[in-house]
Amino acid sequence: MFYLENVSKIFPTTDGKVSAVQQVNLEIRDGEIFGIIGFSGAGKSTLVRCLNLLERPTEGRVLFGDLDLTKASDKELREARRSIGMIFQQFNLLSQRNVLDNICYPLEIAGVDKKAARERAKELLDVVDLADKTYAYPSQLSGGQKQRVAIARALATNPKVLLCDEATSALDPLTTRNILTLLQDINKKMGVTIVIITHEMRVVEQICDRVAVMSSGVVEEVGTVQEIFENPKSETGKKLVIPDASEGIPVPTKDFIRIVFDGRSSYEPVLSQLILHTGLELNILGARTEDINGTAYGQMLIEAPSDRASLQAIRDFLLAKDIPSELVSMQEV
């Protein structure tokens, strides 16, 4: 689908040059949901805009299928962009147009017959479950409804790819989950490849197949969500995965064991079994888990015992139960 080869983007400023993206090599596969995650200023949004050449790379190549977009003619680039939909954090709906006309807008630009455009828009309103808001205006919609309209508009031209730049950042947690579920359905039912830009690990956990971790314009690691979540190799990955005070979880000050819940039943009493098996009193330092359709995702941090025998007993139990875990030394974090 997409292949990036040594892609860099440099912006000139009054204080000198800023390297927003540096020598990125990346493959995004057909039909997958791919996440690009990092903190503010990591270069995520610049990188995703390089995918459709809204930002032209300073150097490197962007291949979309067999087409090198960096060498494409204006006509070839226009045609390619029709296959690449995009949604944004702030929705970017036209306030003077109702929902139906907002969805029709890209079809009008593409020269589609008005009747055919309206029929397509109504089909997509069913897809995003907004048929009852056909003639409403953006000012009459909630944030989640506005994002559903934006998704329908992005799908209007039957794109092969949907680029989502912080598409859920302005939404509350419940609405975020509903929008992510909608995107998953679109991916499965329509076969649309989805690229999600986010700074939230929980977004990646819920929806993505693979993920790239970015910092200071550099892609530090790429892997499946399970690989990154269970064993982050980069410093940025570790900071994103391990809960912190911003999530309402106190930052640990002692060595701890991180227990990863990556899809086991929510009803399995892992902690109580661990206590009964080892006979240890365990101090929980923090936890963040979610029940998604009866399955547990997330992690728990427990204080690491000071004696080796107790520590080994805990790790042996988790290993026997096939529960991913790691010992984290605060001297290394």
Given 238, 256, 290, the domain boundary residue is 238
Count of domains for the chain: 2
Same domain for 143 and 284, yes or no, is: no
Q: Helix (H, G, I), strand (E, B), or coil: what is residue 203?
A: helix
The CATH number given to whatever domain includes residue 302 is: 3.30.70.260
Residue 294 placed within a domain: yes
Same domain for 153 and 82, yes or no, is: yes
The domain of 105 spans 2-238
Distance of CA 272 to the CA centre of its chain: 33
Given 217, 238, 259, the domain boundary residue is 238
Same domain for 200 and 273, yes or no, is: no
The CATH number given to whatever domain includes residue 230 is: 3.40.50.300
Task: Look at residue 50 in the predicted model and tell me its pLDDT.
Answer: 94
Task: Look at residue 246 in the predicted model and tell me its pLDDT.
Answer: 45
Residue 280 placed within a domain: yes
Same domain for 12 and 80, yes or no, is: yes
Same domain for 68 and 142, yes or no, is: yes
Residue 315 placed within a domain: yes
Task: Look at residue 245 in the predicted model and tell me its pLDDT.
Answer: 42
Q: What amino acid is encoded at 77 in this protein? A: L
- Determine contact, residues 24/4, Cβ cutoff 8 Å: yes
Same domain for 218 and 247, yes or no, is: no
Same domain for 263 and 169, yes or no, is: no
Angle between helices 114-127 and 99-109 (to 10 degrees): 130
Residue 157 placed within a domain: yes
Same domain for 209 and 259, yes or no, is: no
Gap between the Cα atoms of 242 and 155, Å rounded: 35
Residue 333 placed within a domain: no
Same domain for 38 and 70, yes or no, is: yes
Rounded to whole angstroms, what are the CA distances from 322 to 57, 77, 315, 319?
A: 44, 49, 10, 5
Given 191, 216, 238, the domain boundary residue is 238
pTM value is 0.80
Same domain for 224 and 273, yes or no, is: no
Task: Look at residue 32 in the predicted model and tell me its pLDDT.
Answer: 96
Q: Which of 284, 285, 286, 274 is nearest to 313 (CA)?
A: 274
Per-residue pLDDT of the chain (333 residues; tens, 9 = 90+): 899 999 999 998 888 888 999 999 999 999 999 999 999 889 999 999 999 999 999 999 999 999 999 999 999 998 899 899 999 888 889 999 999 999 999 999 888 999 999 999 999 999 999 999 999 999 999 999 999 999 999 999 999 999 999 888 878 888 888 999 999 999 999 999 999 999 888 888 888 999 999 999 999 999 998 888 877 888 898 888 875 544 555 556 678 888 887 666 556 788 888 899 899 888 888 877 766 556 667 788 888 888 889 999 999 999 888 888 888 876 654
Task: Look at residue 8 in the predicted model and tell me its pLDDT.
Answer: 96
Residue 21 placed within a domain: yes
Q: Which of 276, 282, 274, 284 is nearest to 315 (CA)?
A: 274
Task: Look at residue 332 in the predicted model and tell me its pLDDT.
Answer: 55
Same domain for 247 and 233, yes or no, is: no
Same domain for 234 and 247, yes or no, is: no
